[in-house]
Structure 1
Amino acid sequence: MTSARENSHGNGSGLPRVPSIPLSDDTGSAADQSIGALVKDATTHVSTLVRAEFELAKNELVGEVKKGVTGSVYFIVALVLVLLFIPFGLVAIALGINDTFDWEDHPWWGFLIVFFLAFLGAGALAFLGIRKFKRIRAPQRAIDSAKDTMAALRSRGDDEHELEPRRV
């Protein structure tokens, strides 16, 4: 489990700074503070922890959404190519094929060849889009961190249970 202090100073993964919870109190010991001050500190720390968890999840999801948008662009380009190429390019190419092979008696041969070429091109672009969508992953670091946080909150300070992440 990464500490909030690591994330606040950057850990080399390009994540932005998030608020951290101080691990020691420089103002005095806990025995000198009132119960109200301790509750206030605990509430502040839990609030900071929850905000940090949401920030981590947001950062991971942004990366995955970018992958999804890239895959969507391939699908959009494939659709635009098919829709724009059908009325203009396909007719011209089909007529050119008919003239080249002297198929004036059977003009549909050229149109059939052009249809299959356009279909293969659109299929290749759709394949690239599917590959991009398959690379989208769940925000695993945020999920693991949230599980660790929940395990820590449920332990309620039990010393016999070390804070180990639960594996499902």
Structure 2
Amino acid sequence: MSQVTSAHGNAGGDRDGSGLPPVPSIPLADDLALAAASDHSIGALVKDATTHLSTLVRAEVELAKSEVTGEIKKGLRGSIFFIIALVVLLYSSFFLFFALAELLADVGLVRSAAFGIVFAAMLLFAGLFGFLGYRKVKAIRAPKRTIDTMRDNAAVLSRRGEHSD
């Protein structure tokens, strides 16, 4: 079987403007294979089917990877705007806390005590959200089921190759 590097026949993989890398594909008709089809044994046909299936699975995985990579890049580009908005919000929060301290001072507290209370409240909230974030990050685990199934698949495929004809 001849290796086709792209369904578009393009080494760069960008002729259609998708920006996706070339993926292996199975030719729909192979003239040499059709001419020699009558000469193949069952074992050779099974070998060809296995090779085509393997190429098909690899092509599907490569396609999924390239699509997911493209979507992640779009998401990252879009998240830049959220990051900018968050930075502006954080800088704006300074004025909120300043106004809160001035409000406490107007209520009758000494100005330095009002600012101290606002500062202590900010530290308390920062500590609380830091703790919650730590708990969430600590809860991240490896994809155990995926790892187990991949090990099982590898074991089955390696045992399949040990049989002799």
- Provide the TM-score with structure 2 as the length reference: 0.47
- Provide the TM-score with structure 1 as the length reference: 0.47
RCO comparison, higher one (Cα < 8 Å, 6+) = 1
